[in-house]
Amino acid sequence: MKQVERPEFKTKAHVVFDDLRQRIASGALIPGERLILKNVAQEFGCSEIPVREAFRSLAAGGFVELVPHGGAHVSAPNVQDIAELTEIRALLEPEATCLAAQRLDDTALLELDGILIEMAAVASAEHAPAYGALNRRFHDVILSHCPNRRLATTINDIWDRAERGRLVYLKGPRFIADSMNQHIEMVRLIRAGDFAALRELSVRHSQFGLHAVRDLVAWEDQSAARKVGSHR
C-alpha cells in the first residue's frame, strides 16, 4: 500500500522562529536591533509563550542574544563560526548532491532551469541578497530529493546558520559570475547522467564557497590587527 504523505505541521513557535530567522539572514533585521516580546507576539497574533520559545531557538543558533524580561536583540554574525560551518557543509554537500541527482525527475529539472533564469537576471554584486535567496532555492530543490533525510536536514541547518556570512562574500566582484557558471554546469551534468563529474564539480563548488569565507575571515583578522596597531 502506498504511504500517504502528510503535510508538515508547524507549531506557532516554529512559524515565528522561521520568519525571524529568515529576516535576520536576509539582513531585514540588522545586528543590534531589539526584538520586543510583546510586539512580536502581537505581530504574529499569538501569546508570548511561543515567541519565548522561538527566541530561545534563535539564541541557540546564534541569531540573537537574549536580554532580561524576555526580549532579545539580533546578534552580529561571527565569521569564524560561519567559516567552520561552511567547512562542514563543504564535506557533506557533494555526497548529498550526488545521491539526490540520481533521483531528480523532469519536473525538478525544469524547476532548476527556471531558477537559473531568475539567477541570471540578478547575477551581479548589487543584487547579492536576491541572488543568495535563489542560490538557496536551487540547492533546496536538489537536497529535497536526497534519500538520506538526516544528511539533508543537517546541511539545511548549516545553510541557515551561515546565511548572513554568505550575503557578505556574495558581494565579491567575481564570485557571482563564477557561481552562476557552476550552477549551469551542475544542471548539464545531471541531465547527462555524469555523476562522477558532478561529484567533482560539487566538491569544487563547495570549496569555492569555503575559500570565500576564509578570505572573509582573513580580511576581518587584518582589519582587527590594523585597529590594534592604530591605537598603539
Domain with 90 in it: what CATH number?
1.20.120.530
Residues 116 and 31 placed together within one structural domain of the fold: no
- Residues 45 and 28 reside in one and the same domain: yes
pTM recorded for the entire structure: 0.74
pLDDT in tens, the chain (232 residues): 333 343 455 799 999 998 998 888 777 898 899 999 999 999 999 999 999 999 999 998 888 999 987 789 999 877 788 888 888 998 999 999 999 999 999 999 999 999 999 999 998 878 877 888 899 999 999 999 999 999 999 999 888 877 766 665 565 557 888 999 999 999 999 999 999 999 999 999 888 877 777 766 665 555 555 554 555 5
Q: Is 185 exposed, middle or buried (0-12, 13-18, 19+ CB in 10 A)?
A: middle
Helix residue ranges per DSSP H, the chain: 12-26, 37-44, 48-60, 79-101, 106-121, 128-143, 149-169, 175-192, 195-230
The per-residue pLDDT for 34 is 95
Distance CA 63, CA 173 (A): 27
The reply to whether 3 falls in a domain is no
Q: Give the per-residue pLDDT at 231.
A: 55
Q: What span, in angstroms and rounded, lies between the C-alpha atoms of 7 and 4? A: 10
Q: Is residue 86 part of a domain?
A: yes
**231 located within any domain:** no
Residue 199 has a pLDDT of: 95
98/67 same-domain check? no
Question: Which pLDDT score is estimated for 72?
Answer: 96
The pLDDT value given to residue 190:
98
Please tell me whether residues 119 and 175 are part of one structural domain: yes
Together in a domain, 64 and 94 = no
What pLDDT score was predicted for residue 163?
73
- Under DSSP, the state recorded for 127 is G
| Strand-pair category, 34-35 with 64-66 | unpaired
Q: Which domain range does residue 42 map to?
A: 12-74
Q: Which three cell numbers stand for residue 11?
A: 507549531
Q: Where is the domain boundary, 74, 99, 115?
A: 74
Same domain, 180 and 219: yes
CATH number at residue 58: 1.10.10.10
Place of cell 554574525: 77
Q: Which pLDDT score is estimated for 4?
A: 37
Domain count, the chain: 2
pLDDT at 91: 93
Asked whether residue 59 falls in the same domain as residue 134, the answer is no
Query: What pLDDT, on the 0 to 100 scale, is given for residue 6?
Result: 39
pLDDT of residue 3: 39
**Residue 56 falls inside a structural domain:** yes
Residues 19 and 130 in one domain: no
Same domain? For 122 and 221 the reply is yes
Max CA separation in the chain (angstroms): 74
How many CB atoms are located within 10 Å of the residue 29 CB?
A: 19
202 shares a domain with 120: yes
